[in-house]
A and B are shown apart, each in its own frame.
Chain A
Amino acid sequence: MESIKRYKFIGCEVFYREACYLASMSKDLVDVEFLRKGLHDLETADMVARIQNAVDLASNADVPYDAILLGYGRCNDGLVDITAGEVPLVIPKAHDCITVFFGSRGDYKKHFDENSGTYYETTGWIERGDCDDGSVQRPAYGMEGVMGKLGLTESYEQLVAKHGKDNADYLVETLGGWEQAYSQLCYLEMGVCDESEFITTAKKRAEQHGWKFELRKGALTLLRKLFSGKWDDDFVLVPPNSKLVAKNDENILGVEPI
């Protein structure tokens, strides 16, 4: 067992099923840790701080890891400035989790460019609702998040109490229309479990909004490579005493010494 590597996966819980599957199948030892979905709803600095904290704890583990695998993308720059301690970090070159579910930057970009107005879903997106009360219309982290800080998490009743019915109706009409801008829901089937219930849920959601429904095979390519140490050009490796930086080109993310 000497050749076995020890990895720590720290990722968004949107990858829960896929990451657990790959960890269980790995020839190496992979500990998995998930942070709550929706960190991108926080102010960028708050998201960075939470991930850095998890990275720092893993870097100082009693039995050292060979690498920390980050289950994130650029995620609205919530990963930018994340710094490696003693243990190197590895992260896919991805804008967000949808890139990872597509399995390649190129495939996601092609679909995104050709299908403007698409809302993407997977098991994680469906079963890990955005907020505590299960309502997907209200974002995670309530008042802590950007939406909360902008005053966009109040219920209709709260708006009526504050601004009167006429204004509350206007606010709901003005702010609640984001679904109307979308025209398609694409469910990405990742193939690690029976997804029939998830697909039914996604189809219903598309129907409710009058969106076209697309069922598409996702790909574990990027996650597989991440978990198996095959960190090719699709990944950024952050050696000790270096940090992740944003790249506004096809690389999406890069690395710089600190």
Chain B
Amino acid sequence: MADMAVLAETLIAGNRDKVAELVQEALAEGMGPKEILEDGLIAGMNVIGKRFKANEVYVPEVLIAARAMHAGMELLEEKLAAAGVKPIGTVVLGTVKGDLHDIGKNLVNMMLTGGGLKVVDIGIDVPAEKFVEAAKESGAQIVALSALLTTTMPQMAEAIKALKDAGLEVKTIIGGAPVTQSFADEIGADGYSPDAASAVDLAKELIGTA
């Protein structure tokens, strides 16, 4: 029987070919896609998230683990859909207008995906109306906004206002180097995350699946 602990370890090591091989083997043995996803891939990403938060691993390790997870996910996606397994929630994610920084946003994407959420990444330099559009189209429960500059932080307020004006019942979360909890309170964001790994717990909490 395929060993999910080995799959998780392989993902943590960033060995994507081996991850694909192990997922394939597990499927061939008749293991359910949900079990492989949760006990293998997500379990591995959880460990990476915890180690990243504790400064035991760094961005490169997160990136290659996420890449390995993606290799496994590609094999599982169809089967998960066929089995009616849905992600625990959907998050629209983007860096606000005027801001071209994407490393932080990409890390949040990887952590959220690794946490079992569906992420709709709408990129960098995203105007407020695009967040509204993407939230409507995807039916997301959460919109996550990133900014690295004090110059672009006011765009977070613009986007949150646009989402509220559109009458969407989404929760908003914000993050980025100069962003703080007090700024989140000031602009009426529902949550603030000081780092990428914490965004997973925050998103789950707001969706009500924590």
Q: A: which residues have CB within 8 A of B?
A: 44, 74, 76-77, 95-96, 109, 112-113, 116-117, 146, 149-152, 154, 159, 162-163, 167, 170-171, 174-175, 178, 181-182, 246, 248, 252
Contacts and interface: CB of A to CB of B under 8 A. Distances in A.
A154 B61 CA distance: 12
Contacts of B97: 116
A208 B56 CA distance: 37
B61 A178 contact: no
Contacts of A182: 100
Contacts of A149: 55, 58
Interface residues of B, number: 29
B98 A95 contact: no
A76 to B, nearest CB: 5
Contact of A95 (B101, B149, B177): B149
Contacts of B60: 151-152, 154, 159, 162-163, 167, 171, 175
B106 A174 contact: yes
A210 B143 CA distance: 33
A150 to B, nearest CB: 5
A252 B100 contact: no
A76 B63 contact: no
Given A174-B106, A175-B59, A182-B100, 14 more contacts: A77-B150, A77-B178, A95-B149, A116-B98, A150-B59, A163-B14, A163-B64, A167-B14, A167-B67, A171-B64, A175-B60, A175-B103, A178-B100, A181-B102
B186 A248 contact: yes
Interface of B: 14, 55, 57-61, 63-64, 67, 97-98, 100-103, 106, 124-125, 149-151, 153-154, 177-178, 183, 186-187
Judged by DSSP, the binding face of A is: helix
Contacts of A146: 177
A248 B58 contact: no
Chain A CB within 10 Å — which of B106, B125, B178, B183 has the most? B178
Given A95-B150, A117-B125, A248-B153, A151 B177 contact: no
Contacts of A96: 150-151
A181 B100 CA distance: 6
12 contacts: A74-B150, A76-B178, A109-B151, A117-B125, A146-B177, A152-B58, A163-B14, A171-B64, A178-B101, A181-B100, A181-B125, A252-B150
Nearest to A40: B177
Contacts of B61: 151, 163
Given A117-B100, A181-B102, A151 B58 contact: yes
Given A150-B58, A248-B153, A116 B106 contact: no
A252 B178 CA distance: 13
B209 to A, nearest CB: 28
Nearest to B124: A181
A76 B177 contact: yes
Contact of B64 (A95, A116, A167): A167
A163 B153 CA distance: 35
A159 to B, nearest CB: 6
A152 B103 CA distance: 10
A42 B124 CA distance: 24
Contact of B150 (A159, A162, A178, A246): A246
A146 B103 CA distance: 12
A151 B178 contact: no
